[in-house]
Every structure is written in C-alpha cells, then in structure tokens.
A and B are shown apart, each in its own frame.
Chain A
Amino acid sequence: MKEGLTLVQRLSAHPDSRCWFVSWSPTGTLLASCGGDKAIRIWGREGDSWVCKSVLQDGHQRTVRKVAWSPCGNYLASASFDATTSIWKKKDDDFESLTVLEGHENEVKCVAWAPSGNLLATCSRDKSVWVWEVDEEDEYECVTVINSHTQDVKHVVWHPTQELLASASYDNNICIYKEDDDDWECRATLQGHTSTVWGLTFDAAGQRLASCSDDRTVKIWKDYSNESGQGDLSWKCICTLSGFHGRTVYDVAWCGLTGAMATACGDDSVRVFKEDEASDPDQPVFSLSAQVSKAHSQDVNCVAWNPKEVGLLASCGDDGEIAIWRFQSED
C-alpha cells in the first residue's frame, strides 16, 4: 500500500463562512462540524459518501467555536463566541437543545467532556477554566472556576483515563489541573512554547501530551510525576517537532488506534507524523509520514481521527469545507 493521505470526500460544510471544528461521535458514525455561520452540522455516511443529516441552527447568536460529543454519544456540547455553551440531546436522528450553560464573561473557546461523562470543562477568553458537573436529572452545576492562566485560554482537554484536565493558552503555557479536597487546582504549568498554544491532545494511554503552537512547533510532554499523586505534578517536554510547519499549527490530533499524529496548519496543509519504532520512549523521534500541501484553500483549523475506523481523518478549514482523508501507512 502506498503510504499517504488520499482524499475521500470534500464537503461544503459552512458555505460563505469558516468551519472551525470537526468532531467524530464515539461510535465513529457521525461527524459534527461547527462554524462561523452559527450553525452545527451533523454528517453521516450514506453508502459511500457523507451527507448532512441535520443542521442545528438558532442555538447560538455568534460563531460556534467547538463541538464535543459526550462519551456515551447521546449528548453534544457546543461552545460559542456568545459566551454560552449549549448542550444538545440526541433524539433519534435529531438533536434538541437541553440547556444552555452561562457564566463566562466573554467568548467560550472550548468545551470538553470528561471520559466519565459526569464532568464538562469549558474555557474562555476571560482567562478562566470552568468545570461543570451533570447529575442524573441532566442538571448542570458549576463545580469550580479556575483562574490559572493570565491570558485567553484556547483549548481544554481531559485525560483519557484519569480525572485530569489540561488547558492551553495565549500566555504560552499549558496548565494541568487535578481535584484536591473539594476544589480543583493547577498542579503543573508546562512552559516551553514561545507563542500561543492552540491545541492539546493526549495519547491513547494518557502518558504523553502533544501540544501545538503559534511558534510552528509541536511539543510532546511526558508525565514524570511520582506515583503517590500528592503534591505538584511533573511533566517534561521530551520531543519538539520543528521545521515541518510553515505557519501556526492550529490543531494536533493523536490517533487512539494507531498512534499517528495529525496536525492542522496555517499554511493550508495537513500533515501526519509517526513515531519511529526503534526510538526510546523517553526520547521519541517522530517523522513526517504524509503531507497534503493544499488540503484546504485557506488555513486548516482542525483535524480529527475517527475513533473506530483506522486511518480515517477529517479536517476543516477557513474555506468552510470539511475534507475526509484516508491515511495509509506502510506496513
């Protein structure tokens, strides 16, 4: 098989606007996208092609920045520039608005569900990260508000197995949070990037964290905390991928099935990196496995690996389009 990225389909998701984010449902059958046209679109497969199954309009007054599926796949959360986060419940093929989480002072930049499904994290330009809890009656309550960053918080992501939260910010830092006593605190601040950190992703086991930044690099961090879990955590940067990207790297996604890492870049291209088999796990070497230079006609905003289907990658960009790719690796 030839190694590389081949285009499966290009979808005009958000015409006359930009597509900000794409997210696969946990079963891998649905793809949610959101954009500057204030709408969320759900795409499903019909035969060999992807079609738009539903459009969630009127949920927000401004751009929808991110969408996230709950681990059970029945709920969809959307973060918008109108300072609210909407929770949608899946009813057969359609979605209905369940509740709207308010509280942030300005644009909500990201929303993420914890793997347990009970907790939700949102972050905003108001420099805070909020953690919400869901109870049995689908009531959402604020658990805590953490102000560890000194600037706009761009992205939040949960650890795949532990109740650990990571956030990336315009202040060039990454903060890791853990619950202590009855409040959440920042247990580690990862410094290393020289510009805004735009995206974060954990590897399948949760031992490593990849971050991408405006400084055109992707950094891999590893957890070297002592076993007890008490006191501050220690994460160190074990690898930096530089020289590959021509512009800001807006998103990074680590495939849970294959370990391949895809990046979305401001130079309109999508790249896939693979870890060299022989490299030391404490000093990994990543090499560029595939690249599509003109994946989109403008900045690529997001990349997402399908959680069930090996090699299926979705990307979206400022051109308002979603591109579905198949990544074939040399094996």
Chain B
Amino acid sequence: MCFCVFFLQVGYQTFISQCSLNGDGLVAVLRLLRLCFCRMIIFYIHVVRVLRLCRNAATRRENMADLRPRSHNNKRSRQRVCSLTGGVLQLTDLDDFITPSQECVKPVKVEKKQGKSVAKIQIEDDGSYVQVNQDGGKQKLEKAKITLNDCLACSGCITSAESVLITQQSHEELFKVLRNNKDNATEQKVVVVSVSPQSRASLAASYDLSSSEAGRRLTSFFKGLGVHHVFDTSYSRTFSLLESQREFVERFQRKEQDSKCLPMLTSACPGWICYAEKTHGEFVLPYISTTRSPQQMMGSLVKGYYAEQQGISPRQIYHVAVMPCFDKKLEASRSDFYLETAETREVDCVITSGEVQKMLEEKNVSLNDVEPAPLDTMFSSVSGDDFLNHAGSGSGGYLHHVFTYAAKQLFGEEVKELTYKTLRNKDFQEVTLEKDGKVLLCFASTYGFRNIQNLVQKLKRGKSPYDFVEVMACPSGCLNGGGQVKPRPGQNPKELLQKVEALYKSERPLSPEDDAQVAELYQIWLGSVGEERARELLHTQYHTVEKMTNGLAMKW
C-alpha cells in the first residue's frame, strides 16, 4: 500500500514537471488526483482495520479452544468444533462438551469516563500499568482485584480461584492488624478472637493437654500478642441451638400447609451450603434452616451487642474466628454477613486450627510452656476455669438438641438418651421417636459427600422419610475438619481423631435452655431491638448460584 502511495507521489511530481496543460485543466486534474489519493488512504485504513479484527478473532478462537475440556491431546476436541464438509467449514457439536463457566459471574466494575475511548497503556519499570491520555497526562491504573466475596458467586471458574483466595484470609492478616495496633496510636482496633471448641480440642490433642487447659493457654497466648478478648463459640452456639429448636417446631407445625418445610436441614456447615447453592439451588434451599451458624452468631454478638455496649463502631473491631475448616472463610466472606452501614464484615478473618499451630511455631512458642490465663467470660460458656460444652455430636449437637426439644414440645416426651442407628455407613445415622408402635419423629445425621448425595437424591424423588437432618460436609463431622491440626509423621490419623473426640466430649455439657447468661442476653438485647431486627441478627438467607454451562454464550 505504501509503495502505491509512493509511486503515486512520484508519478504526480513527474507528471507535474512534464505537464504542459494550461492552468484550469491542470487544477482540475490535480483536484481529481487529490480525490483519488484521499479515497485510497481511507480504503487502506478500512482494510487494515478489518485485517486486524480477523487476526484478533483468530487468536480468540484459538484461546477458546484452549479453554475447552482437557482432551487436548485428543484430536477429537478440534474435530468436534469444525468439520470440513464439501469444502465448507461447518461448526458441529459445539455444545456436546459441558464447559465450565467461562465468564466470571462478578466482573470487576470499571469506571467509564466520558470522552474519547482511545488511550495508550504503558507498562512502567516497576510493573505497574499507566494509562497515557491523549493530552499526555498519565494515570496509574488500578489492579483489577477479585475478592473471595466475588468468587463465592461463581459457579466454577477454571482457575478455581476460591482455593487460591482462601489463603488470603490467613494468620498473616491477623499479625498485620496486631502490628498496626502496636505501631499506630491513632487507628487502634479492638481485636477479638472467637475460638471454636473443635479447634480447641484439636490443639489440645496436639499438645497433650485437656481441652480447658488448652483454652486457658490459648487465651494467654493470644492476649500476649495483643488480642483484647478471647471468646468461645460454644456460647454463640447456644443461640444457634435455641433458634434451631424453635425453627423446627415452627416448621413442624406448618408442615401440612407447606410441602417444603420438612425435612429441615441444618445450616451450620458452609461446605454444605456452598454445595447446595451451587448444585441444587432453588430445589433444596427452602429446606435449609435459616438459623445462623455459631460463627456468624458470634459475629452478630461482637459487632452488634458488644460494639453498642462499648460505644464503638463495628469497624473498630477486628473479629477473628478460629475454626476447624477452610470453608468457614468462605462463610465469613458472604455478602449477607457484611454490615453495609458500618462497612465491615461481621467476622473479619477466619483462621484454622492448623494456622494457629503455625502461629505458635512462628513465634517459637509451645502451648505447654505458656502460662494459663483466666478466661473471658463475657461471650464464653464457662464454669469457673473450665469450658462448658453441648451434648450430642462433635459438630454442634444439632440433632440431639432439636430432637429432645421437639419431643418435649410437640409430644410431651422426655428423652433422656438418644439411640443412634447406623445405616449405610458410620457417617449416616438415624434416631426415631416412637410411641405405641407409631413413628412420631424421624431424624438423621448425614456427614460426608456421598451421604449428602443420597440425601438430596432421595429428597428429589420425594422419598425422604426424615423430619430433620444434621448435614455436615466432612466425614466424621467438624472434629475431622480440613483445617484441624494434621497428624504428626507416624501418627495414625484415626487414632488422632479418636483422641480429639475424647477431649471434646470431656467438657461438661450444659443444656441451652439452662444457660442463664444467654437467656439474659435474649431479654435485654434481642428483646429490645424488635422482632425484625432480632431476626436479622439470628437468621440468614441463601441464594442460588446461577450456572453458565453454555459455552456459546461466552462474550468475545
């Protein structure tokens, strides 16, 4: 193209020099030439643009082929996309493979500025991106960030960013906040740590201590780092148990009118909730209890009640929860647990039992060497120097408590001891209340993915005989959570689990109805805020995650 223009110019100049036309004729010819010249330039620009688009389209198509399911070394995937029939390229069977979500459900919001949309982007030496505007002004571009919050909504992006982002909520963050407190006199945060009884039992097993002893020493360790309060989630669990009991009875009483209220499925396990929202959606969500989990109940207590009492904004509190699994980090990041006005999360950071172990190692401290400290009684279930627990399973005892309460409230039956019947495997157990040969209540606990599968499939076919199911994603429940302290080399994992279970059960149980402290808080705090606010503080909701399984809907 450039050569044509060049030759044109040369020709033009020679023509001019050779020309012997008179003035007017010459002007006319020159005008004509100029017109042709301009038209050619415009034509050139269009051609280049089209060529560029084609090239980009070709690269995008290649990239799309890469995103296809991993049968790359199988020429089939390429054959599947196009077939050459009679010289014409045809797209065939494009929707035969189920592709994972190709579009991020929560795209990053970009501020659209008015004006010309053309700008140059320069990469600086330090790796940052700078936009160079038309007037020469430079603007540093922000890195697009996807937070854990955003990823929760996604139905499975190819990079499995969830697992990557889970590591961002770590003990490093806690250390950072504590450091900031030490260095910064102005922006002090009140640091509160809520320890779950399962994590306590796991750490106790790791250091050969009793559960209460481990709790006392953990309190001392955390306070030594600068933490202000160390609470126990058994306390907030009391709220969860009480609310679950009431919710079940209320559901049972309206089971004739509402076909989707029973069986009631527990909601304390975030792994189960994430799976239910992503895979089964609208079908299973109505069955799930709206009661908050102990972690988020504690969130309400700390950032709601405690903040009010102390006269500080919830933003000034940094709430850390020590939990037995990683999915609790996802739970803490849910938008339902974000306080809009205060612009803070109810639980800021979740660290696992294993991460606490790492913290101890980093600080070169062994729990055995730490001096025990007195326990914070405000939001802890304690009696003297010992922790109090709840009866029932190591995952919270929901089945136990709802069963005994329902038996009493609905049928006037006092149940002293529950008889568990093991079904298909030890993670699937059943408890029934029978009177005069009639089954009044049928409850079950299903732990582990395989049992959850069977539960949901039975539910879908309308063949589930249960009124209530305690659902936990981990086989053997929370005591065997993915974030618990791992067995030492040579230690048998089954033996370690048994040890943790024994330590957990050694704490004295307290019935939720007999907890005077909790009853008091119900009256003075929840009673005073009104029914709607109380419901907000004690309950939550679920959202189906929309899946995008059609690869053709991908935006270019």
A and B from one assembly?
Answer: yes
- Which residues of A are in contact with B by a Cβ distance under 8 Å? 36, 62-63, 81-83, 102-103, 105-107, 125, 141-145, 151-152, 170, 182-183, 195-196, 214, 248
**Residue of B with least CB distance to A144:** B450
A144–B95 Cα distance when bound, in Å, is 30
- Interface 9-residue window, one of B65-73, B301-309, B354-362, B437-445: B65-73
Partner of A81, one of B96, B425, B450: B96
Q: Does B97 contact A (CB under 8 A)?
A: yes
Asked if residues A195 and B73 are in contact (CB atoms below 8 Å), the reply is yes
Considering only residues 129-158 of chain B, those with a C-beta below 8 Å from chain A are: 156
Partner of B69, one of A83, A107, A144: A107
Asked if residues B98 and A81 are in contact (CB atoms below 8 Å), the reply is yes
Contacts of B96 in A (CB 8 A): 36, 62-63, 81
Contacts of A151 in B (CB 8 A): 70
Minimum CB–CB distance for A100 against chain B, Å = 10
A107–B549 Cα distance when bound, in Å, is 12
Contacts of A214 in B (CB 8 A): 73-74
Chain A facing B: main interface SS = loop
Asked if residues B73 and A83 are in contact (CB atoms below 8 Å), the reply is no
Contacts of A196 in B (CB 8 A): 73-74
Asked if residues A107 and B426 are in contact (CB atoms below 8 Å), the reply is no
Asked if residues A82 and B450 are in contact (CB atoms below 8 Å), the reply is no
Sort chain B's interface into a size bin: 20 to 34
Asked if residues A142 and B73 are in contact (CB atoms below 8 Å), the reply is no
A141–B97 Cα distance when bound, in Å, is 26
**A152-B70 CB under 8 A given contacts A145-B449, A182-B426:** yes
Asked if residues A106 and B98 are in contact (CB atoms below 8 Å), the reply is yes
Asked if residues B98 and A142 are in contact (CB atoms below 8 Å), the reply is no
Partner of A103, one of B95, B425, B453: B453
A106–B551 Cα distance when bound, in Å, is 14
Contacts of B172 in A (CB 8 A): none
Apart from A81-B98, A152-B69, A182-B425, list 7 A-B contacts with CB within 8 A.
Answer: A36-B96, A62-B96, A81-B96, A107-B98, A142-B454, A145-B450, A145-B453
Minimum CB–CB distance for B548 against chain A, Å = 14
Q: Does B176 contact A (CB under 8 A)?
A: no
**A36-B453 CB under 8 A given contacts A151-B70, A170-B70:** no
Asked if residues A141 and B98 are in contact (CB atoms below 8 Å), the reply is no
Q: Does B536 contact A (CB under 8 A)?
A: no
Contacts of B156 in A (CB 8 A): 105
Most chain A CB within 10 A, of B96, B279, B426, is at: B96
A209–B457 Cα distance when bound, in Å, is 35
Write 30 A-B pairs (CB below 8 A) sorted by A numbering.
A36-B93, A62-B96, A62-B98, A63-B93, A81-B96, A83-B98, A102-B457, A105-B156, A105-B279, A106-B98, A107-B69, A107-B98, A141-B424, A141-B457, A142-B453, A142-B457, A143-B424, A145-B450, A151-B70, A152-B70, A152-B71, A170-B70, A182-B425, A182-B426, A183-B425, A195-B73, A196-B73, A214-B73, A214-B74, A248-B74
Minimum CB–CB distance for A130 against chain B, Å = 8
